[in-house]
Each structure stands twice: as structure tokens, then as C-alpha cells.
Structure 1
Amino acid sequence: MGKKFDLNDDGVVVVIGSGAGGATLANELAQRGVDKIVILEAGKHFTQADFENDEWAMFNKISWLDKRISAGGWHHTKTYPNLPAWIVKAVGGSTVHWSGVALRFQEHDFHTRSIYGQVEGANVLDWPITLAELEPYYELAEKKMGVAGTRASGLPPMPESNQYKVVAAGARKIGYQKIIRPVASNSVPYDGRPGCQQIGFCMQGCKVGAKWSTLYTEVPRALETGRVELRPESMVLQIQHDKSGKVNGVLYADRKGRHVLQKARVVCVAGNSIESPRMLLNSASNLFRDGLANSSGQVGRNYMNHSTAAAVAIHRKPVYMNRGFDIGAVVADEVALNTGRGFNGGYYLEGLALGLPYTAAFMKPGGWGRDVTSALEMYDHMTAVWVCGEDMAREQNGISLHPTEKDQYGLPIPIVSKTYHGNDEAIAAHGLVQFRKLSEAVGASRVIDMPAYPASHNLGTNRMSANPRDGVVNKWGQTHDVKNLFISDGSQFTSSSAANPTLTIVALAIRQAEHIASQLQQRAI
């Protein structure tokens, strides 16, 4: 399993991060014959045997809990001051923890500047690619991931849970018609993985391996080629370059804290939208004074994490939302472009089931009282929703380095600053009203709005742009400034869409791998 590459081998492709972008890219490159690939992963290498069907045990085991600061006008400064994002630090990245929702972008998502015009207080921009260009890769991604209910996978839809039945009934009563279940989890055995057992602990790591995760799909398949080496517990400190500005190595701290330099021919950064810009900013030099590949000044800017809100509804009879796949239903009627509602973009109502511990924690962060306890007593009667809507790119929202405070690796800790645009707030408010309507339509006795959770969809910060002055990477995820440096995660997103990002990250990674493999073969990079 796997191979060992010499630290001084300057023919190596270094991939930083092993999540949806990084591990998919590494495996796709290996399958195309690229024969020297090193994956550097900051977290540990857990196995399915390490997963526990216990929300807090797994939260503490796999979450990225290195110190971060929430700043700006968003509620996280009060509710989650040191946990702006809920992502994973482990082999597999956030595909260990993701809910499995796999949605495609819509046509207008790639043309937000053209369609919305110049939005005051926002920094919207068109992507340099179109839906038509990405569609073949969406097909490949849906097949790879086993997205239930799609033509590409051939898998039947996930069974209807009680949560689905209640949410869908309410949705139809208020006129909605598009209630879907597009999840990358096997409804029946597929691709060497078993069918979903409807255990309900999807975000704690799937113990049976039915849900697609790079931990047990892309990573082992990449290692089996003999062309890839995985180095877990390897925290990247700096990306280095030669006198001409081409990257030529990656400095990282290994599990014992030793500083190690791996020489490189190409570097692909897939560390999530907080860590990826942080790496580029930490790699500032005399040649790149404002951070690597940052001639535009856009590295770390335009941070998006979707316009979100959450709520629970208490029904007259038991629902047991925790039984079954974690996303019971996705109501898609409000996602179409329709400015008549008073905002740009749209949103999904995602019936995301929470376990009792998470429900208690998220309902009123840091608070308690009879209003909370009386609701929790009715936990088995609840449905829950997560509003997932388009988030406007804003230049002032972003990742910056703390001027004085350092983390355990000696790096400046990241400050994650976010202030919602009025458009974002309008989307979240509209979604909560509609969930209340659909819940009350089927007799809910109480609906409780909750603050949004720590961000699990972290996007932007190294965005794609046709013009180098507007972003960080071109249509291939190749940085405008450094031709052998690529961004391979959600930080390259130019707009957020309302769709959960993982499917698009995987589709872009497959497309990028095709391009990089071709460029390597031509010796163009």
C-alpha cells in the first residue's frame, strides 16, 4: 500500500489536504499515470473502527479545533467565538463529516455579475467557466460518489424516512412540489461499499461505509496504484519557491513536530477555505510580499459560507427524525432565480436531522431554561431544517493572520471575519418563514428558530476569475501568478450557489486532474 518518495525528489506533485478536492485530485492523477504524488494531511488517519455513534465523542475526535477567531458582524462572534467553522482535521477531510447532500450548481450560479449586476456592498463576479463545461464532470462525480437517484449512478433514491414524510407533506400543503433526496450514500450496495443501514449518525463518520468519503474511497484507491504516498499528521507551514517564482517545495511539521521540506514539481492546495489562503499568506516572501500568488490582493477575501438558518418544529405525534439518513428531505422549490421575493439567488430547505445532544447545544448556544428544556422533552416529536441559500461574495469577508497570537505550530492563528450582506439575511429570514408555514400546515404545535451552526460550507478566498486582477486562479484552478501552483478545493469558488459544495468540488477536481496530467505530459508545468 502506497510508496515512499524521497524528500529531495523535485519531480513530486504535492497535494495538500485529503478531502473532497485533494484526495479526488490525487487519485485521478494517479489513475492517469502521474507517478509521484505525495498527500500531506494535517490530521490523523482514522479508520471506520474509530468511528463512534456518539455526537460529541466524534465532534471532539475529528473536528478542526485548533484556535481560530470569529470576527465581524455575524452571530458567531457571540455564539461560537472560537469555532467559526465545523470541519474535519483528519484523512478524508470534511467528507468524513459531511451530510452527503450532492447538488449541482444551476446555470445562473456561474454568471452572478452578469445577472445580478453590480450589487452594492458585494463583490460578485462571473466564473470563467459555465455549467455546460462542468456538466460532463458532474456526471463523472455522481457516478464516482454513488449519488442515489441519479442517472449517472443508477442507484434508486434513498428510502423515505419519517422526517422526509412529515417535511414533504407540509411542503406539498403549501404548494411546493420539488422534494428531493440527492445524497451520495448507497441506497443499495454499490462500488464495493454496502447499502445504507439507516443508522442516522452520518455526520459522525459512516461506520458501515455506505456514504461516500475519500477516507475509504479515493485515498485507498490512490495508494493501491503505487504512485501515491499519504503522510498524515503533516501540518503545512509554508510553500516555497525558486528565484523565478515557481513553487519548488513544501515545508511541514510532522507528527513529532520536526520541520520537513518536501521538494515539488507542482503543488496543489486543498486545505479548505480557511487553511488554503492561510498557507498562501504564510508563504509571503521578498518576491511575494503580500502572500504567495496574491498580486490581486484577493487571497483570503470573498469568504462565503452560505446564507443559513436553522429551526426545529414540534409535532403532535412522534416523528423520530434521528432514525434514517441524516438528510431526510430537501425542498428545492425556492432555489430558482426569482428576484420577486426581494433578494438575489435562492435557497434549499434541507431537513437535516440532529441528534439530541446537538439539538440541545444548538438550540440556544450558551443558554438554558424552561423554553429549551420543554422543547427537548419533545425531541422525539421534532423535525428540523437547515436553510442553505446563496451567500454574496464580499471583499471584506475573509481570512487574515493574527498580528501576534501563534498556534501550536508557531503560525499566526487565522481570523475568520464575516458580516452578512442584507441579501443573505433576507434569504435566511424567508427560509425560516417558509419552514414555519410548512410545519404548521401539518399541525406543528411549536416552531423554534435557532442561530445558524458553525460554518461547514467554507467557500471563496482564492476565487476563480477570467482577469487576474479579480481573483487568484484561472478556470483550471491554476494560480494566475504561479503556473505550477493550483488550488483544488472550495476556496476557488467564485460564487456560492445555494447548493452544498462537495459535488462541485469533486467535479472540479476531476476536471483539474485531467488538465494537470496533460500539462505534465507536455512538460508545460
Structure 2
Amino acid sequence: MASIAHDDPVVVIIGSGAGGGTMAYELTRNGVPCVVLEAGRFLTPDDYENDEWAAFGQMAWLDMRTTSGTWRVAKDFPNLPAWIVKAVGGSTTHWSGATPRIMAHEFKARTTYGAVDGANLLDWPITLDDLAPWYDKAEQAIGSTHRHGRPALPANNNYKVFANGAERVGYKYYATGPYGTNAEPYDGRPASIQDGFNFQGDKNTSKWSTAVREIPRALKTGKLDLRPECHAVRITHDSTGKVDGVEYLDAAGSLHKQAARVVCVAGNSIESPRLLLMSASSLHPDGLANSSGQVGRNYMRHMTGSAYARFDQPVRMYRGETMAGIIADEAKHDPNRGFAGGYYMETLSLGPAFLASFIEPGEWGRSFTEKMDAFLNTAGMWIVGEDMPQESNRITLDDEVKDAHGLPVPHVHFDDHPNDVAMREHGYAAADAIYGAVGSTGVHHTPPYPSTHNLGTCRMSEKPEDGVVDKWGKAHDVPNLFVSDGSVMTTGAAANPTLTIVALAMRQADHILQEMSTGQL
């Protein structure tokens, strides 16, 4: 690993997840020195706990946050609006592995869906054609199954119930992937051992993460200075408005400043706008890169819900991969269903501890114990679809509540859009039909969990007044400031976002390298 001096102006990357970890590798392998500031610890596969609650405590971002809004998460989990990871590799160490692409029409949401009342829809400044070659590169890096000749994962029982139901109700587009978990050895990673516990940390390393692939490879270049347990608190700039450094707190709480030639913010859609807002100055009184007033706005978390079906015979959904299949038929845009956009259905298994916590928060008594008694006979799926961006759904600074360092915590406000509600109800009905077709004795609809797909808040836009960054993820207001995570997504689309975040980061890294070669950065 490199040791870079604090006064050496290099590329500073804040966060090491799908966006930040990818940026670090793409730049260092091309000879660009980088410092990565990661708020969490550097956990290795040997460190991972194979126990649901122990793993949650070990990996989850549990710093204080506050919430408001009509979404049920504010009632059930008021200080845990998001279920993400605080560790090297970020939430790629916790993700399910699903890697669908955003579809062409979803890049043109405003054009495709028209004016949806209450939604702040905008077309992306890029198209699927622009991102397609980077999707190819991202799929090859991740090792997505069903892509580029990669074999499929085997079907587990949860998938067999799911797929048989899909076939019987007439769905045509269902499969065991694409997923970022190896079905056979690939790229130095082994094949899945179907252990049923790679959702929170994969000790076998068959599932891709930047902690397994990009960060170790970047370290081997000798160009990366990785600083875990270092929390960025302010981005500074010079008199011309260019960023020139990042102030951060180390594990002991000591304040340092790293000089910067370029800054790439990849802290996720809650921490990234929080950092920009905390970086306000006389030149940027409303927050860094916030002349549009859009920093923190248009927070999306995907329309989600879950369905757990009970059967007379054992399913043992926990055997095999946690997520092991996708139905894509409802991902289309068909306004005749009563909503804009579409959704996927994906197999899901939770262990007894998590199922008890999330299946119906706050429930107790006979209805609750019946669900838990049926655990062995239960099949599960997650419903995930496009939610509508709304300006009022936003991240702000809570000046009433401070974190351990005395800094304002992020406040997350979210209201479901009527389109989200209509889509969720349609998804629940689809789940009922799928499981009913294979003989379920009952299906329970679980409300949304804390958010795992945090999107928007620093969105891409063609015009500076409509967003925060341009088509390369570069801030409209600051020529050497980039945002490199899911917060740049103009709209959410239906697809799980990790593949898109990686593809965008690869594309952004290529642009930064070109700008450096011509002296623009």
C-alpha cells in the first residue's frame, strides 16, 4: 500500500463501496495515486460473523440518523432508515448480488411516463447506448451469471417454488440470475458453496465485492493509500472555487486534512449530500455544489415490499443462495396497470431472527407465532421497483441531533408517492397469484424494510438548475468535484442499482483519466 503525504494533492475518494472502490481500482491501475477515506473498518472474510444479528452489529452503519414522513420505516425503524454497511467495500459486502441493467425507456422517464403529478421526473443526460459498453465491463468485473458466457447458479427450493408459480400464471421471463455470485470459479474467486449465508459478508468470497476484488488489486498497484476508520467531515476549496482538500477524523477522533487534486464523493445517497451540505462556505452558502438547491433532494429508495408464503410441506428457503432468482415480466412500463414504471420479483430468504424482526414489525401473539412456526414451510420473495423522485423526499442536516463528533446527523424525510403505493399493491397481488398457483396456504405481505437501495440526492442533469452533476458525475458548480455513487441516479428505474453504479464509476474514471491527460484536471 502507498503512503501518501497529507500535503500531496492527489485524487481523494470518499467511500470504498461499489462506486468508490471501483474508482480506486480504475484510477490506480492506470498509475494515478489515490487516497481512499473509508469511515468503517477493514473487515476480511475471516472476520465475518456467520450469524444474522452478530453480522448486522459488525457491519451495519448504525450511526444516529433521524427520520420523518409517512413511510412506514419512520414508524418501525426511526433511527435506521437505511440498512447499509460501514466497512471497507461498503454495501457490496452486504448486497444480494442481483445485476439487471436499467432499460432504455427508464433513462427517459420524463419522456416515457409524461408528467406524473407530484413527481420530479427528469430524463437522464445519458442513454442506454452510452452506458452499454460500461455495463459489459461491469458485468465482466463482477462475473454476472447469465452474461458473457457465464453459467447460471443452480436452482434452490425457494427458486423452484417461485419459478413453478411463475410458469403457471403465465410469466415468461424468469431465471436464476443475473447474479454476481460465481456458479463456477471465476476471476480468482471460487464457486458458490450454496451456504445460504453470503448476504452479510461472504466468507467463501464467491460473491463479488470491492473488498474482494477492486480494493486488494488497487493496493497491489502501490498507488492506493487506504485509510479505514477515517470519516470525511468537510471538503474545502480555494479562492477560485476548486476543491483543494478533504478534512477527516481518524479512529482516535483527530482531525486531518488531505490535499486534493480531485475529489470523488462516494459515501452513498445519505452521507454524500450530508457531506456536501456540511461543506458550506461563503462561496457555497447553501452547501458545496448546491447552487441549484438540489443537493439532498429527490431521495429514492425503490418501491419495495416482501411476500412470504406458507405451504403444507417443507421448502427450506434458507438453503442455497439468499437471492436465487428473478421474474422480469412486470419490469415493463404498462400504464394500463395503473402506475408508471415497473418492478421485479426476486427470491428472498431471511433467517428466523431477521424474519421475526421484519415480517410484521411490532406484531405479537398468535398471528405472529403462526408465521414463525411455519418457517421451514415458507417461501419468500422481495418486490423491487421504480419509485418516483419527489423534491420533498430529501436529506437535510438535523441541527438538533449530533453524532459522536458533535456534527449534525442526516435527517431522512420520505413520503410514498401514490404511484409507489399502486405498484406495491400490484406486486403483492402478483405474489399471491404466483404462490397460490403452487398451493400456498397463505401469503403475508411484509412492509418495506430499512432502505438498501439509496438513490438520488445528487442527481445527474443536462441543465445545472435541474440537478447537481453533469453526465460524467462532475459537479455543475465545481470543476474538480465528482460524485461517484448511486446518488447521481436521475431516476431509480426498477433494476437493483449496484451494476449501474459500477458501470457509471468505470465510465467516470475513464473520463477523469482523459481530463488529466489533457491538463483539464
Quick one: which amino acid aligns to residue 28 of structure 1?
A: E
1:118 & 1:30 partners in 2: Cα distance? 43
Quick one: which amino acid aligns to residue 173 of structure 2?
A: K
For residue 492 of structure 1, the aligned residue among 485, 488, 493 is 488
Q: Percent identity?
A: 52
SS of residue in 2 equivalent to 1:420: coil
2:467 & 2:323 partners in 1: Cα distance? 34
The reply on whether 1:128 has 2:109 as its aligned counterpart is: no
The reply on whether 1:324 has 2:320 as its aligned counterpart is: yes
SS of residue in 2 equivalent to 1:103: coil
* Structure 1 match to 2:430: 434
2:362 & 2:337 partners in 1: Cα distance? 34
For residue 364 of structure 2, the aligned residue among 362, 365, 368 is 368
Give the Å deviation of 1:334: 0.3
1:291 & 1:204 partners in 2: Cα distance? 34
The reply on whether 1:170 has 2:165 as its aligned counterpart is: yes
Quick one: which amino acid aligns to residue 495 of structure 1?
A: T
* Structure 2 match to 1:239: 235
Q: How does 1:63-462 map to 2 (within 5 A)?
A: 63-151=60-148, 154-180=149-175, 181-462=177-458
Give the Å deviation of 1:366: 2.6
1:248 & 1:343 partners in 2: Cα distance? 46
- The superposition leaves residues 86-107 of structure 1 with CA deviations (integer Å, 9 ceiling, x where unpaired) of 0000000000000000110000
The reply on whether 1:17 has 2:15 as its aligned counterpart is: yes
1:402 & 1:216 partners in 2: Cα distance? 35
Q: Contact 1:334–1:348 at 8 Å: present in 2 too?
A: yes
* Structure 1 match to 2:44: 47
Gaps of 5+ in 2: none
Give the Å deviation of 1:398: 0.8
491-500 or 44-53: bigger deviation:
44-53
Give the Å deviation of 1:191: 0.4
2:476 & 2:424 partners in 1: Cα distance? 35
Q: Contact 2:301–2:451 at 8 Å: present in 1 too?
A: yes
Give the Å deviation of 1:280: 0.2
Aligned residues: 520
SS of residue in 2 equivalent to 1:265: strand
Quick one: which amino acid aligns to residue 18 of structure 2?
A: A
SS of residue in 2 equivalent to 1:297: coil
| TM-score for the superposition, normalised by structure 1 | 0.98
Give the Å deviation of 1:363: 1.2
Quick one: which amino acid aligns to residue 172 of structure 2?
A: Q
The reply on whether 1:472 has 2:468 as its aligned counterpart is: yes
2:411 & 2:206 partners in 1: Cα distance? 36
Give the Å deviation of 1:356: 1.4
1:512 & 1:16 partners in 2: Cα distance? 15
Gaps of 5+ in 1: none
Quick one: which amino acid aligns to residue 134 of structure 2?
A: Y
1:242 & 1:39 partners in 2: Cα distance? 21
1:32 & 1:45 partners in 2: Cα distance? 24
* Structure 1 match to 2:502: 506
- The superposition leaves residues 430-479 of structure 1 with CA deviations (integer Å, 9 ceiling, x where unpaired) of 00111011101100001111111100000000000000000000000000
Give the Å deviation of 1:33: 2.1
1:215 & 1:329 partners in 2: Cα distance? 24
Give the Å deviation of 1:58: 0.3
2:90 & 2:63 partners in 1: Cα distance? 15
Quick one: which amino acid aligns to residue 333 of structure 1?
A: D
Give the Å deviation of 1:53: 1.5
Give the Å deviation of 1:115: 1.3
SS of residue in 2 equivalent to 1:302: coil
SS of residue in 2 equivalent to 1:216: coil
- The superposition leaves residues 364-411 of structure 1 with CA deviations (integer Å, 9 ceiling, x where unpaired) of 213321111111111011111111010100000010001222101221
Q: Contact 2:184–2:191 at 8 Å: present in 1 too?
A: yes
- The superposition leaves residues 268-325 of structure 1 with CA deviations (integer Å, 9 ceiling, x where unpaired) of 0000000000000000001100000000000000000101111200012111100001
508-517 or 405-414: bigger deviation:
405-414
The reply on whether 1:5 has 2:4 as its aligned counterpart is: yes
2:458 & 2:490 partners in 1: Cα distance? 8
Quick one: which amino acid aligns to residue 77 of structure 1?
A: A
Pairwise CA RMSD of aligned residues? 0.7
- The superposition leaves residues 231-260 of structure 1 with CA deviations (integer Å, 9 ceiling, x where unpaired) of 000001100000111000000000110000
2:52 & 2:276 partners in 1: Cα distance? 33
- The superposition leaves residues 212-243 of structure 1 with CA deviations (integer Å, 9 ceiling, x where unpaired) of 01111100000100111100000011000001
Q: Extract structure 1 runs of 4+ deviating beyond 2 A.
A: none
Quick one: which amino acid aligns to residue 460 of structure 2?
A: M
2:286 & 2:163 partners in 1: Cα distance? 50
Quick one: which amino acid aligns to residue 257 of structure 1?
A: G
1:15 & 1:365 partners in 2: Cα distance? 37
1:70 & 1:329 partners in 2: Cα distance? 32
SS of residue in 1 equivalent to 2:138: helix
Q: Contact 1:328–1:353 at 8 Å: present in 2 too?
A: no
1:118 & 1:65 partners in 2: Cα distance? 38
Q: Contact 2:49–2:58 at 8 Å: present in 1 too?
A: no
1:216 & 1:347 partners in 2: Cα distance? 30
Q: Contact 1:54–1:204 at 8 Å: present in 2 too?
A: no
Quick one: which amino acid aligns to residue 127 of structure 1?
A: W
1:55 & 1:66 partners in 2: Cα distance? 19
Q: Contact 2:196–2:319 at 8 Å: present in 1 too?
A: yes
Give the Å deviation of 1:76: 1.1
Quick one: which amino acid aligns to residue 509 of structure 1?
A: A
- The superposition leaves residues 33-82 of structure 1 with CA deviations (integer Å, 9 ceiling, x where unpaired) of 21x20000000010101112211100011000000112111111111111
